[in-house]
Amino acid sequence: MSWTRTVIVAVIAAAVVGTVVGLVVWAVMRETSTTEPPELRELDWWEHTVIYQIYPRSFKDSDGDGIGDLKGIISELEHLVDAGVGALWMSPIFKSPMYDFGYDISDFYDIQEEYGTMADFNELVEKAHALGLKVLLDYVPNHASTYSEYFKKSENREPGYEDYFVWADPVRVNGVNQEPSNWISQFGGSVWEFSEKRQQYYLHQFAIEQADFNFREQAVKDEMIKIMLFWIERGADGFRVDAIPHLFETAPDANGVYPDEPLSGNMFLRPDQAGYTTQIHTRDLIELYDVVYDWREAVDNWAKNNGSETKVLLAEAYANISMTMLYYGDEKGRIGAHFPFNFDFITTLSAESSARDFAYVIRHWFTYMPQGQVPNWVFGNHDQSRMPSRFRSNMVDGLNGLNMLLPGVAITYQGEEIGMKDGFVSWEDTVDVAALNQGNSSNYLEFSRDPCRTPYHWDNSTNAGFSTAPKTWLPVAEDYIEINLQAQKDASVSHYKVYQALTRLRKEKTLSHGAFDVQALSLNTLLLVRHLRTHDTYALLFNVGSVSDTVSLSNVDLLSEPLTVYISSVHSTRTPGSTISSSSITLLPGEALVLRAPPT
Ligand code: GLC
Ligand code: MG
Ligand code: CA
């Protein structure tokens, strides 16, 4: 057993629940006391990397059409190196009619023209690899565009394609055709759409133009693996796998009847909104895990047969904790994704959360994660309100600090490194199908994912340096004059400078291999300690509240004096290099400090 694993096991075994709920002290137990540094397991490339999510449409436009593209990404790869990240993941860049901005793929084997060509893709991979960056693609197995050849052939009942999608006959009630069941799409409205051509309904869990593949069909499963290997052969280092909980739906009974879902009883939802029914027939079906385990086998085999580095699979799954953890693998020893995304910071925490909520949510993941697996942390993505908008602007450095100091993989959504907030997108400028489906209603913004997708802020020039076009595909957020990369590079203190310091600090063995302890020192102040014998200890002290807070570190065993401020959040009055006394520390609202302490 590796040292890290020994520690994790020991840490869990030695978790001592303190007298106060929320004050859990993790003790690092290992036959200690020699001064020899511990023998450290060599980590695989992905186990402690920082993954940077690029939303290609909004990152950088090279040809002035108002839409980000591959050449734009290529021209800014150095930015990712400068920021200190290890891998990039691009949201879909494949051929698509763009009803769901690339998540509706019409050709899984080609690049969307407005993004570039296969040659551009090759150049991107080559340059990224030369810079030491891994390249992850978005893999969308649940559905294809209704403009895809697969769908056209299936609609025409071409041999071999008849059952590629989920087709169902109408239900006849009093001589009238009705939808096969009451299932509701994630974007609102029925999952069933009638095809005049085939005189049947097809199922779509997302937009009408995104038809769900039929994963009970072997040809579909084979094709999806073929697609995955096609991109691996072209240099992809792995995939973020889209929308997996929706892979399967309950099959019809012997008479072809689909069961209705019971109503959820959620009174805040209209009958055409996702969640109005319980989704027991449309989410988390147990059959899906075998498909994920097969994918893992396919990529592992490819890597083995080609003597290549590990190709990773990262599962996008908004699911309960048990169903989430099953993506790592099952009791029978089958393994799946390298990790399922940990969305807890998005789904469970908010500006109102206390330090105890933070500590609880962090431990929650570790409590359920199977032994020996790698955790990960997500603070935002292209589907969710941006991190400083969900929390508070003064929490940016503390949240990035948590992301970087917690064990495992850190995931950054483009713009988090400079504290970008949601942009305002008027109804007239709205393009997201999830919002459009609500109609011009007062609440379209509750559903719209446009605000978190507005273009990246490079500098304070026109369109924030994103594009020279007179009009960009989504408006640039107004605050780009204050919040932009160039300004933050020029400033002596900025979110970006803090981010860089954090990614640099991650290279320390304490962070890649050390044990961790997280606790609430008070209602609002969180303490995260990373500890590795014979190495310096690092701690993040973070006031997540909206009032000043005074805490003491005197009772924290792992932190011995002298305590040096190593990194401080932008509005902190403490400068890196200064020492602080552990007995009484007052933190401003949102203030975060990374402290360094000598080895214990
Ligand atoms: C995932 C994507 C989202 C997309 C959906 C359907 O949740 O992140 O953007 O709309 O899947 O592909
Ligand atoms: Mg362009
Ligand atoms: Ca499906």
Report how far residue 407's alpha carbon sits from residue 516's, in angstroms, rounded to the nearest whole number: 7
> At a CB cut-off of 8 Å and minimum separation 6, what does 426 contact?
475
Question: Is there an atom of ligand 1 within 6 Å of 70 CB?
Answer: no
Yes or no: is domain 143-212+250-284 CATH 3.20.10.10? no
Question: Nearest to residue 105, comparing CAs of 190, 275, 230, 284?
Answer: 230
pLDDT at 378: 98
Question: Is there an atom of ligand 1 within 6 Å of 432 CB?
Answer: no
Question: Nearest to residue 164, comparing CAs of 229, 96, 216, 109?
Answer: 216
Report how far residue 145's alpha carbon sits from residue 471's, in angstroms, rounded to the nearest whole number: 27
**What percent of the chain has a predicted confidence (pLDDT) above 70?**
94
Question: Nearest to residue 243, comparing CAs of 273, 215, 277?
Answer: 215
* 316 Cα: distance to centroid of ligand 1 (angstroms): 9
**What percent of the chain has a predicted confidence (pLDDT) above 90?**
92
The structure tokens 């799954």 sit at 317
> Token pair of 332, please?
């029978």
Q: What is the side-by-side order of every strand in the sheet holding 200-203?
A: 167-168, 200-203, 192-195
SS3 sequence of 459-526: CCCHHHHCCCCCCCCCCCCHHHHCCCHHHHHHCCCCHHHHHHHHHHHCCCHHHHHCEEEEEECCCCEE
Report how far residue 96's alpha carbon sits from residue 523's, in angstroms, rounded to the nearest whole number: 48
The lowest-confidence range among 240-249, 266-275, 455-464 is 266-275
Question: Is there an atom of ligand 1 within 6 Å of 433 CB?
Answer: no
Average pLDDT over residues 269-285: 96
Give the residue extent of every domain in the chain.
Answer: 143-212+250-284, 423-455+457-487
Instruction: Using most ligand atoms within 8 A of CB, pick from 55, 91, 103 the residue to mutate for ligand 1.
Output: 103
Question: Nearest to residue 350, comparing CAs of 391, 309, 398?
Answer: 391
Average pLDDT over residues 492-500: 98
Question: Is there an atom of ligand 1 within 6 Å of 284 CB?
Answer: no
- CA 308 centroid distance within chain: 25
* 242 Cα: distance to centroid of ligand 1 (angstroms): 6
Q: What is the pLDDT of residues 360-400, one digit of tens each?
A: 999 999 999 999 999 999 999 999 999 999 999 999 999 99
Q: What is the pLDDT of residues 127-152, one digit of tens each?
A: 999 999 999 999 999 999 999 999 99
Average pLDDT over residues 347-363: 98
Contact 527, 563 (CB under 8 A): no
pLDDT at 41: 94
Report how far residue 110's alpha carbon sits from residue 501's, in angstroms, rounded to the nearest whole number: 38
* 249 Cα: distance to centroid of ligand 3 (angstroms): 6
Q: What is the pLDDT of residues 403-458, one digit of tens each?
A: 999 999 999 999 999 999 999 999 999 999 999 998 877 889 999 999 999 999 99
pLDDT at 35: 67
**H helices of 48-198, where?**
70-75, 77-83, 118-130, 149-155
